[in-house]
Structure 1
């Protein structure tokens, strides 16, 4: 039995060691992609095109910088946004008598890169430059050249590009269009338009003393269904923090609110940019130079600090969470420690707790010094894992993205790998197979584990951390919201993650230093083998939960993952029964097990599941009702909430994720229940679900508004737009239907 236990520990160690190496490699890839500058640009083809192949002296023609990007790659507008570099013409080489004007930029697309916003061009763009030909230019061919530089980016990497592009123009008494004239005309139509009756204005929404301030843009439009926005020309002394917040129409004018943050100097007196209407595939824009005035009658007041509804069972906790920004640093660290401790009883970590109890049983009657050492080694495994997670968070932030707790569970490939890994752990607990060292290095590790037991304790700590990340315990979200805020230093991130790790490991370290508390445990015996098998069932339940998360990413294809797990289980049985414990024809058994795995990966995982190509979100806004009599959930957007409140309807918003067990428990026990459904019907309320399963940037940004970096988060909005939303308790025992009903009743009070 000792041999089986050691081989099981070593199996966990080998798998989690591979996982940690993958995390560290991911950090390196992110940083390398963020800072690489020497790679050759190979995803954008640049050329110089002309509207005419033959031009007359004294005429004007249009030149175009044509950039053709590969699928999935983009270049940047004149103001790239929060990240990127605009395309530049560093130098023109022109013959005498030919002069150039300024670049005319087609309207860009708005793109979200993590939590950042960029103005980009995808597929093709032609940057237009007017050329004027002097009347004294002699007939004949002319050579034109321009030295270009640009930055081309995909979702994972950016590469600078540079090229000298050339074109020939013939000067003659007659003009003739070039083959590219149609393409140039196409992009001339995508330039900002002129509208004499635009009646555009910009006004401050409120006077504030901080470095952020809401500003409202409005202009006349016949398109009431447009998605209005403002793209500034400049961002050197200010930046816009949030998505455009669409306001109700007023006197035939589109209205949009944005939050401006000044980074240097005084508040701007005017803004220049594009007023954009997203009406179809190609947006319409109007160039505007707007003096900013003070709003004499603001339609929407600045959002006050959120309040928290507390249940009678946990009012102290709710009050503490009501204003997290006012808590001291020691209190936030205490929340991190307490949240780490509570993680031990969250559903995600329960299977590992059972395994740890098994380890304590086996060591309970050993020398106290040995027990203390194993407790500290377990803590070292937990802290090492949290250091790796902190490094990953820092790497993501350095790459210009917004990081969040449990963000790796938004990666479909990670979930698939974890599902397979945890399934193998369950099969190993059932005794279907064992992992034995096969190399000198692995043999040394296995010998160490067998002799000291330290490697098993260390990697149990790593496994506990890995399975803890999709859970958010009470108090933990407050601490994480502070630690993962964009402005926090790397030292704060490391400090808070280590504090959470100390909280997670503390109960086991305490037990290891007070072994007399373990006297109630029975002595080691044959029952432990049965207990180990029994622990395979909660581990199998964990695998099933992970499997359920893949449906969001692969839809109906996910059943092919189930087929692959069956093939993996069959290969594991053949390996255990015919190779490890068999005596004859081991070669045939090994070939069959290997063939099952190769077939499963190539035909099932790659061919049918297509695990590298998850489903792309379609943005469907249809009802997300989960049962015939359930709440009629709608997909969340800030615009939808604003419109509902403007119509006088109370709103409840559930920020949730498929991988968040606490979220699902809160919804089923306290929110989507008959009493709340009836209350929403009586009050004509609306319910929105903000699905954080794939960690979309707009939801990350909204969570950050409430100093959260993870779900769950439940908000109740009053129909009165001057009142802040109420934050409901996040822990199940403090929430309850009564708390939700009370918040909804309060939302309709005047």
Structure 2
């Protein structure tokens, strides 16, 4: 085995090692006290965040993410001037899940608060509170504490002009000073404090936290491959396959050379489309593509583009590139020889088949633009090109297969029209984002579902031959595959009907507008926690002899709501949660004030817990070594873990296994 192969396997093995640390520290703030004049200063908060994370700005609407706020605990010899001001490059875009415009920072966040000094001694202490999220998790409301004092008379000292303190918000799990916490009058006496005992090592002994990553490279490649297969069976590509393969096999008496030319032709197709994918991200950049995918204006353009593509597939017109382009390339291919000639032939295929492949490629690039990976479009195009090039090489290797190859006919137009219906359905997804951004209320959830029901019902009727388009044959016979496709489409339309009255419709939850846009909702099958207080819930579980599931969540946690809608409503899951467990839901962004602030020690530094949300956030960090939501953990009556923790993953079977394993360990 070569050294390169050995090092590659070693690197992969290191990547596959389980990681048990769950405390996330994606944002670090520093605080500066800057002199503006003799009686005015600025407190400047500067935060650096990891890639993929963003910190929300100030004054966001109610019901959205956590806004950044400036809070004082002590204000002597000074007064606050105006509100906390964001500074730097602020991003303002539509969040389709929150259903509102949000403002946030990526990379670096800066907030400035002006303070006026009254003269003489002063003391200012308090905290900046901010919210931070990535695509999968959100941190609880996090505090950056500060404290400055000095004397304003005369010239300020250097100590007064600039003072810096490190971010005290997130603790290092390895060095947290974890002390039992007793807060509030409802805390049970005696052994209740033992519930707060840290169990980080015990939790990690069960294995890695269950989490799900969306839009993996495999998913993107597979989506591109399916798109390539669909393009393969269109009238623009399928008839070309036997002509091209026969040409390569007949152009030379050497069969081996003919096969080599066919392989080269297929490889050229792959190179052309992968180059296209790379060019897209090199021109726009991965982050720009992601911004476009969530921009209201560009979502309208995406909607119009897909509607035009759908009309083209229905036969209203043909989308073709200028004929002089393909003629010029074809002429060049005839004048050259060798590998360049074959490459130019593949390029000609790409141009002449654009009317069928263009809409599929356009939709694919729009979909993968939501990924922040710079190579995502190239991976999607790789899958697309491999599927498109595969028949040219396979038929060259096995020429006898050409005889059994289905002949061109009306069935190809059926595939083309079916793709038109799908393009039209997905176009509504992009219009929905713009509709939420501008508040038109044209596509509330029931309106969106009604349109999808009509589209898929019409698709079913078309496949049954009840609807005709310009390029369809007059043959009234319906093949067996076409019948089953119609059956699936009509069944899907019927499946969506209960959604008009509020049914969750898990299969389309990623595409339909948020549930809160539904005006008429009769669906009430929801799971609700018995307790929203940790100590009270644990005492009840001890008295009833039941295990506990702790649900660390947040009012602004989108993935928490998705788990509750898509997973908790499953009959098996809801039965386990309602009958076998005591469910305790703890909101880490709960703003209710504690009877009095509580001082705790984390990372050798004293922190102040001021709200109920602070209390539950501290519990999650100190006891379980985690700080992102959603976060689910199973406990026995003594507060010890029964299974590994669980985060965002909508796989119902995994969630059922997670709950059943905890129940078995409890009974044992």
Name the TM tier (shorter chain). 0.3 to 0.5
Higher helix share: 2
Alignment TM-score, normalising by the size of structure 2:
0.43
Q: Could you state the TM-score of these two structures normalised by the residue count of structure 1?
A: 0.39
Identify the structure with bigger relative contact order (alpha carbons < 8 Å, sequence gap 6+): 2
